[in-house]
Structure 1
Amino acid sequence: MKLQPDRSSAPTITGHGPGWVAVDGQRIEHSVIVGSQGERIDWPAAAWEALQPTHFETLAALDVEVVIFGSGSRIRFPRPAWLAPLVARRIGVETMDTAAACRTYNILAQEGRRVAAALVVETPA
């Protein structure tokens, strides 16, 4: 039996490091939302400390089952009030550091799930 990898049209996160992520080989040096339906949205969240409820309202407007929230270089959980728009739309949220969020997004997107990764990309000191 010949095994071949599944093929998906979803954008793939092809790399990450301090201050950047790469989506389909294109290096991005700011926070970004990547969706399995082809979305790539600049996300004006320069750091964890800059996050506001409006950042999560943007996520609630997406047609996804789950949001993978990459909180930067370490795991930090969003305030429950920020998640209210997602909860109201019955969109699941998983929080992890940005590196783990990149890997998890790729797995779910390749499975054909309607998923978005909301990645805080912090500028290195």
Structure 2
Amino acid sequence: MPHCNGFAVLRTAKSYNLANYDRLRQCIIDGLRHAGQDARPLNDLPIAQPPLGRESPKVKLHQDPSQAALNTVTGYGPGYVEVNKVRYNHSVMIAPEGDVTPWPVSRFEALDTSHFDLLRAREPEVVIFGSGERLRFAHPRLTTALTSQRVGVDSMDTQAACRTYNILMTEGRRVVLAVLIETEATE
């Protein structure tokens, strides 16, 4: 079995790392040619484009037509979240049905129990807290009212929170997404 740049050429080779995608693609093509097989179909595969710089990616998610009436996160990026193609530049509470509601908190340090009580009023099965560009956990005393009612609370960075919300929402779960969009402190 030929090897190239550390990759073993296998017919079932998979790579989930975009940085290695092109090397693996070329290695498979070379391996097929070495084995005397036609590698032309692989030449049609796209060449991976690594993310530019160290910026947070701006992501657009595509809505499933069968879920069109539900609140779906359709995009997110630094300083915003997009629900049903409407952009919000402030913290919001999102449930599958009903309005997207402002969540009156603009700094992680300002979170208190009243912010999580607003989420409890929506009677969720699970609350997903999108803590911003990096993962931060709300203090357990802030979520006690939720957890004492057997409501699951999970903290994630905003990107992971948005993706997880969409999955749970399409499964028909009673999920509420609380997205923290931090604004600059004004002094």
TM-score, structure 2 normalization: 0.61
Q: Which residue of 2 aligns with 1:7?
A: 66
CA–CA separation in structure 2 for the residues paired with 1:39 and 1:92: 22
What is the aligned counterpart of 2:121 among 61, 83, 86? 61
Displacement of 1:63 in angstroms is: 1.8
Unaligned runs of 5+ in 1: none
Q: Which residue of 2 aligns with 1:84?
A: 144
Q: Which has the higher contact order (CA 8 A, sep 6+)?
A: 1
Kept in 2, the 8 Å contact 1:15–1:22? The answer is: yes
CA–CA separation in structure 1 for the residues paired with 2:181 and 2:127: 16
Structure with the bigger percentage of strand: 1
Kept in 2, the 8 Å contact 1:73–1:122? The answer is: no
Kept in 2, the 8 Å contact 1:11–1:34? The answer is: yes
Q: Which residue of 2 aligns with 1:74?
A: 134
Larger-Rg structure: 2
TM-score, structure 1 normalization: 0.89
* Percent of paired sites with the same residue: 49
Displacement of 1:107 in angstroms is: 0.7
What is the aligned counterpart of 1:33 among 93, 111, 134? 93
In angstroms, what is the RMSD of aligned CA positions?
1.6
- Which portions of structure 1, spanning 4 or more consecutive aligned residues, are displaced by more than 4 angstroms? none
Displacement of 1:88 in angstroms is: 2.1
Secondary structure at the counterpart of residue 7 of structure 1: helix
Q: Which residue of 2 aligns with 1:119?
A: 179
Q: Which residue of 1 aligns with 2:41?
A: none
CA–CA separation in structure 1 for the residues paired with 2:124 and 2:66: 20
Q: How many residues align?
A: 121
